A and B are shown apart, each in its own frame.
Chain A
Amino acid sequence: QQQVKQSPQSLIVQKGGISIINCAYENTAFDYFPWYQQFPGKGPALLIAIRPDVSEKKEGRFTISFNKSAKQFSLHIMDSQPGDSATYFCAAPSSNDYKLSFGAGTTVTVRA
C-alpha cells in the first residue's frame, strides 16, 4: 500500500511570492507523479505530472522537483496569483497496482 505524506496542511503567500508544497512516498513507484489542483465544488484537475526518470519539470509558473533517492517530490508555484488559491494534492502510483494514493492536500491562499 502506497503512503503519501504531504506538507504543509495550509499556507498563505503574498501575490507574486513562491508557494512550495512537499510530498514524500514510501514504496517504490513507477510511471508518473501528478499534482492536482482542486477548487471548491469542483473535481481535482491535473496540473502537472513528472516521470521518475526526470528530476525537474516546468510548465509555466508551476515546477515539479523530484528526488528519487529520497522518495520526495515538490511543487513550486512561482509568482503566485490570487487565482492560484485552491487545494493542491500530490499523488503517487504503486509499482504493482493501478490506483493512485493521494496526499491529504494543501490549501493555498494567495493574498492580493
Chain B
Amino acid sequence: DAGVTQSPTHLIKTRGQQVTLRCSPKSGHDTVSWYQQALGQGPQFIFQYYEEEERQRGNFPDRFSGHQFPNYSSELNVNALLLGDSALYLCASAEGNSNQPQHFGDGTRLSIL
C-alpha cells in the first residue's frame, strides 16, 4: 500500500520563476494538506483541499495556490519565487471529513537561487 508520494524530490529555481509541486495521497485518503518546513523548524500549514475545494488556508500570500483533482491528487503552485521560499514542501493526506491523523510524504526540497 503506497503512502503519500511527492514529486519532484528536489528542485532548483531562480527568483521570479514559478514552480508546481505534485502530491498523490495515501490510498483511501481524500483530504490533502500542504505544509512548508524551513530548515530547523516545524512544518507550517499552507492550505488544505477537500472535495476539490480549498477548505482552509494558513498565513501564506496569494502567490501560493493549489488544486485538487478528482482522483484526490493535488498540486501546489508558487509564483514569483523569492529567496525566502526555499524550504521543504510537505504534502499530508488524511481520511474523511474530519481531523484524522495526517500522513506525510517525504517532501520536495525547493532551493531558490
Residues of A with Cβ closer than 8 Å to B? 6, 30-32, 34, 36, 41-46, 49, 89, 91, 93, 97-105
A36 touches B55 (CB 8 A): no
Inter-subunit contact B42/A103 (CB<8 Å): yes
Are B99 and A30 touching (Cβ within 8 A)?
yes
Q: Is the CB of B106 within 8 A of A42?
A: yes
The 5 closest A-B pairs by CB, nearest first: A102-B42, A31-B99, A99-B45, A43-B104, A43-B106
In the complex, whether B24 has a CB less than 8 A from a CB of chain A is no
Report which of A41, A43, A46, A98 forms a contact with B99, defined as CB distance below 8 A: A98
- Once the chains are docked, how many angstroms separate the CA of A28 from the CA of B55? 21
Q: Are B104 and A98 in contact (CB under 8 A)?
A: no
30 contacts between A and B (CB under 8 A): A6-B42, A30-B99, A32-B101, A34-B101, A34-B102, A42-B107, A43-B4, A43-B6, A43-B104, A43-B105, A43-B106, A45-B104, A46-B102, A46-B104, A89-B42, A91-B42, A98-B31, A98-B33, A98-B50, A98-B55, A99-B45, A99-B56, A100-B43, A100-B92, A100-B102, A102-B43, A102-B44, A104-B42, A105-B40, A105-B42
Q: Which residues of B contact A104 (CB under 8 A)?
A: 41-42
Interface size class of B (residues with CB under 8 A): 20 to 34
Q: Which residues of B contact A89 (CB under 8 A)?
A: 42-43
Interface residues of B (CB under 8 A from A): 4, 6, 31, 33, 40-45, 48, 50, 55-56, 58, 88, 90, 92, 98-107
For B4, what are the chain A residues with a Cβ–Cβ distance below 8 Å? 43
Q: Is the CB of A100 within 8 A of B45?
A: yes
Q: Which of A30, A43, A91, A98 lies in contact with B90, CB distance below 8 A?
A: A43
Contacts of B48 on A, CB cut-off 8 Å?
98-99
Given A43-B105, A45-B104, A98-B48, is A93 in contact with B41 using a C-beta cutoff of 8 Å? Answer: no
- A98-B56, A103-B42 given; 4 more Cβ-contact pairs under 8 Å: A49-B101, A98-B48, A98-B55, A102-B43
Report the minimal beta-carbon distance from B75 to chain A, rounded to whole angstroms.
17
Q: Give B54 Cβ to nearest chain A Cβ, in Å.
A: 11
